[in-house]
Structure 1
Amino acid sequence: MKASENPYNPGAGAPPPELAGRDGLLRQADTAIERARRGKPSKSFLMLGLRGVGKTVLLNELEQSAERNGCQTAMFETDPDRPLAAQIAPQLHRILLRLDRIKKAGADMHNAFGALRSFASVFKVQLGDFEFGLAGPAATGDLTLDLTDLLVAIGEAAKKRETAVIILVDEIQYVQKGDLSALIMALHKISQRQLPVLLFGAGLPQLAKLAGDAKSYAERLFDYPPIGPLDAESARLALTAPAKREFVAYAPEALDYVVEQTGGYPFFLQVWGSHCWDAAAKSPITLADAKRASAAAVTALDEGIFKVRLARLTERQRAYARVMAEFGGAPVNSSDIANAMGLSLSQAAPIRDELIKKGMAYSPERGLIGFTVPKFDEFMRRAVPAPKPPRKQVKK
């Protein structure tokens, strides 16, 4: 069992050696891409899930699938501190440059480049070299109107060239509400005109609510596939398939133990699998190996991603998160946390909102809050002293 032959890949967004349990979603995306390329109605979707379930991996897989099918793609991760116009314009510029290489007669590319030129000018976006003399629809400075005009122009150019444009956006929950509304309205117009432009996004579970709040028809415009932990069979495959290719097996009880410890979360499966490999002297990996690996995996997480996340919290955010951890890993009622801290709901609400904005917590539905990273509650209970009982409970 050489460390240099360890087949597992526990990195952030890194492709696993075995992409198990996601076949249904990949088939859904492939169908949507092919229908779009053929000029048939197809539906965009937004993947919802916690950290560590493999959303970024799936976006990368969808990008590669679209490119294999002859589509033009652009992928980026949302920066919460930048407006959408500044982030999406360079990506659309790249797509137009690729479309321009597919030679077709007509003024559609002139129109699309002109729309981009006008869009970049009015929103003060720096782009690479292109023909500034081209005419196009004049931008108004209203992102809803201008992004719609730009995507329509790009969609028409793609349609003429019998291809499709696939835009992939990670961490889309960080798009500002007004910008998200503009993006949804632009995609709505694209859908109405049946142009070959699709959006595949990924974000935390509150994304569906954010999209619905931005535009009520978003619930019909997108599909919202949940991306959660793998089922037991898929989790076992994610562990055993990479090991088998290196002629290594797991004892059944060791495999069961690792699946239970990881909860089937793809990132944790890679972490535990990697430590199992390092802990074992030979094949098969035994239960004793798996238990040693589990202790090492927990220590690595505590000193790595968990410690980094804790360091990002202010004192009052840390206190709130520590009380959350007392209730376990499942989402908890915000009023219960406030009561446990001796605060009123109005006093605790700003701290709750800060944790959500930092991506440390999410709200699956009104009044509930949970950690975005599985097992973070266990870490908080290990690393941070238990909160002292409040001096006085505040009535709701």
Structure 2
Amino acid sequence: MDPVRNPYAPGAGTPPPELAGRGQILLDARTALRRVQGGRAERSVILVGLRGVGKTVLLVKIKEIADDLGFKAAFIEAQENRSLASLIIPMLRSILLTVDFSERARDVSKRALRVLKSFIGSVKISTGDIDYGLTINPEVGVADSGDLQADLSDLMVAVGEAAKAAEKAICVLIDELQYVNEVEFSALIMAIHRVNQLNLPIIVVGAGLPQILAHAGSAKSYAERLFRFPQIGALEPTDAVAALSNPAVEEGVEYDADALEEILKTTERYPYFIQQWGHDSWNHAKGTTISLDDVREATKRALATLDESFFKVRFDRCTPAERRYMRALAELGPGPHRSGDIAEALGTKSTSVAPVRSKLISKGMIYSPQHGDTAFTVPLFDAYMRRIIPTFDVISTDGT
């Protein structure tokens, strides 16, 4: 069929043509935003799920909702080797400089900018010698202690007070939250706690891999009272069918029942893979019906595409020792698996490979669903590991 008319959208964070199965999450997000906007208490939100379930797509959609409601909304993506402060500073600067403050609110907004200037000075080591374009004098004695937990709280309170004076609400959206280290995450939690205590109009909506749950608990014991943690998983069968069929029907195309069943089975109903298989099935089909043969041929194309991009970029970030650990995990089949079983497959003890496991968790490659268990954060990655490293033998006795 005509590839120009192909309705599917495989890609990182690319909105699908049919956002199926996520209606309740978006409805809950809209309710939370409206409560904050109305001056009511509301918990912030962290979407939790594996790679490929559409967390980033949902964050983008929630930002659109916030924008439509009149929020000052800003989207940032946490990064492995970059401090949270270096991401937050330009975002808050932009918010404070673009809000239309009334005459009575300008003193509050100027104070918030001075507090931001103080904060910049206090975190200069982690942000580098960057000129953020603020020529205003700092607010002496506020957000300048050098203690990130205290200073970030001071800053968020000042920004929240400015937003309240301007009769505006702020939504901060943070993707890839698992890359925020424990000290920074603890500071963020404390800042949200303080903002909530003062009933200021700021809400944080984040997204992260499953390890963010343990990360939050380690950072602050009261994190579960400040956040809701909606679990984002594979689609239900009816939603997966809708994600495939509805965009095709709008273009006058339909799927054979066995073709749909094959895609759902092969993709395990993960949204990213559904888009990839739909895209490749469409491009292979010759008529207006997508058949089982079309899907089987599309599987070859889809796996080749994923192996060259989605999977490969993650594999390439790992050291030889980390790759051997992942290959041992893949050898055991679909997870999760006990850490001791993985070590046994490597011919060593769990304590010997613990540093490798820890690094892979930090890189977002694996996570621990429960104590002592290990699983891939990327669906279907075990099969990829078996394709890229076809044979597995005990390579070493020390896991390195």
- Pairwise TM-score range, normalised by the shorter structure: over 0.9
What amino acid is the match of 1:144? Q
Specify whether residues 393 and 82 from structure 1 end up closer, same or farther in structure 2 by C-alpha distance, changes over 3 A only.
Answer: closer
What amino acid is the match of 2:119? F
Aligned to 1:86: 86
Specify whether residues 388 and 223 from structure 1 end up closer, same or farther in structure 2 by C-alpha distance, changes over 3 A only.
Answer: same
Aligned to 1:205: 210
Aligned to 1:283: 288
What amino acid is the match of 2:104? A
TM-score by length of 1: 0.95
Q: CA RMSD in A?
A: 1.8
Specify every segment of 5 or more residues in structure 2 that has no aligned partner in the other structure, as ranges. none
Aligned residue among 298, 303, 306 for 1:298: 303
Residue 159, structure 1, aligned to residue 158, structure 2:
no
**More displaced, 368-377 or 296-305?**
296-305
Offset of 1:253 from its aligned partner? 1.6
Secondary structure, aligned partner of 1:105: helix
For residues 273-327 of structure 1, the C-alpha deviation after alignment (integer angstroms, 9 at most, x for no partner) is 0011011001111111111112221222223322333233222211111110012
Offset of 1:191 from its aligned partner? 1.1
The answer on whether the counterparts of 1:167 and 1:198 sit within 8 Å (CA) in structure 2 is yes
Residue 144, structure 1, aligned to residue 143, structure 2:
no
Aligned to 1:16: 16
Count the aligned residue pairs: 393
What amino acid is the match of 1:150? L
Identity of aligned residues (%): 44
The answer on whether the counterparts of 2:54 and 2:271 sit within 8 Å (CA) in structure 1 is yes
Aligned residue among 132, 145, 162 for 2:136: 132
The answer on whether the counterparts of 2:21 and 2:236 sit within 8 Å (CA) in structure 1 is yes
TM-score by length of 2: 0.94
Offset of 1:375 from its aligned partner? 0.7
Aligned to 1:321: 326
Q: CA–CA distance in 2 between the matches of 1:162 and 1:182? A: 26
Q: CA–CA distance in 2 between the matches of 1:173 and 1:190? A: 22
Secondary structure, aligned partner of 2:173: strand
Q: CA–CA distance in 1 between the matches of 2:316 and 2:118? A: 43
The answer on whether the counterparts of 2:244 and 2:278 sit within 8 Å (CA) in structure 1 is yes
Aligned ranges 1:360-371 → 2 under 5 Å: 360-371=365-376
Offset of 1:104 from its aligned partner? 4.1
For residues 24-51 of structure 1, the C-alpha deviation after alignment (integer angstroms, 9 at most, x for no partner) is 1101110111111111111101111111
Q: CA–CA distance in 2 between the matches of 1:231 and 1:127? A: 49
Offset of 1:185 from its aligned partner? 0.5
Q: CA–CA distance in 1 between the matches of 2:158 and 2:395? A: 60
Aligned to 1:340: 345
Aligned ranges 1:1-396 → 2 under 5 Å: 1-99=1-99, 101-106=100-105, 107-124=107-124, 125=127, 126-133=130-137, 135=139, 137-138=141-142, 139-389=144-394
Q: CA–CA distance in 1 between the matches of 2:395 and 2:312? A: 26
Secondary structure, aligned partner of 1:15: coil
The answer on whether the counterparts of 2:116 and 2:138 sit within 8 Å (CA) in structure 1 is no
The answer on whether the counterparts of 1:72 and 1:166 sit within 8 Å (CA) in structure 2 is yes
The answer on whether the counterparts of 2:343 and 2:349 sit within 8 Å (CA) in structure 1 is yes
The answer on whether the counterparts of 1:73 and 1:166 sit within 8 Å (CA) in structure 2 is yes
What amino acid is the match of 1:92? L
Offset of 1:131 from its aligned partner? 4.5
The answer on whether the counterparts of 2:282 and 2:290 sit within 8 Å (CA) in structure 1 is yes
